[in-house]
């Protein structure tokens, strides 16, 4: 038996079938990166990113040194604008970070109830 030739101008990417009908082994995948990711390289990357963020923050603070009047729940403060914005960003990040553990606790409670119901059945 011979395999029909592919039409002119097209190429076939499928390998020919073997004599026993089994598929040929898959081609080896090329390596993605030369070196594996290690904890030390991750720390180094984090430190570089943190230093870059620190440089941006220092530039922001220098450019926004104007005083701003802050009033919150009866407390009146006069802070540099950059400090007020950083405090607001930190408060927002803390509020967002609190949502994660709350959701995990909620999911654990749902799982506990489902397991208790499955045991009772």
| C-alpha to C-alpha distance for 83 and 29, rounded to whole angstroms | 51
- Please give the pLDDT value at position 81: 84
Q: 79: part of which helix (H) or strand (E)?
A: strand 75-80
- 51-78: pLDDT as tens digits: 898 888 888 878 877 888 888 788 888 8
Q: Please write down the long-range contacts of 39-43, taking CB distance under 8 Å and 24 or more positions apart.
A: none
Once rounded to an integer, what is the mean pLDDT over residues 102-115? Answer: 90
Query: How many angstroms separate the first and last alpha carbons of the chain?
Result: 61
pLDDT in tens, 6-56: 556 555 566 666 666 666 666 666 665 666 778 788 888 888 998 898 888
C-alpha 97/C-alpha 109 separation (Å) is 19
Instruction: Specify the pLDDT at position 102.
Output: 85
């Amino acid at each position: 038996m011979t395999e029909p030739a592919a039409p002119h101008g097209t190429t076939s990417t499928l390998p020919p079938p073997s004599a026993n009908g089994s598929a040929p082994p898959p081609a080896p995948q090329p390596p993605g990166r030369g070196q594996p990711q290690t904890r030390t390289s991750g720390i180094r990357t984090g430190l570089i990113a943190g230093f870059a963020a620190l440089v941006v923050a220092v530039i922001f603070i220098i450019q926004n040194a104007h005083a701003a009047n802050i009033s919150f729940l009866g407390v009146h403060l006069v802070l540099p604008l950059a400090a007020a914005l950083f405090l607001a960003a930190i408060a927002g990040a803390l509020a967002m970070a609190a949502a994660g553990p709350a959701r995990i606790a909620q999911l654990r409670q749902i799982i506990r109830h489902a397991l208790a119901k499955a045991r009772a059945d």
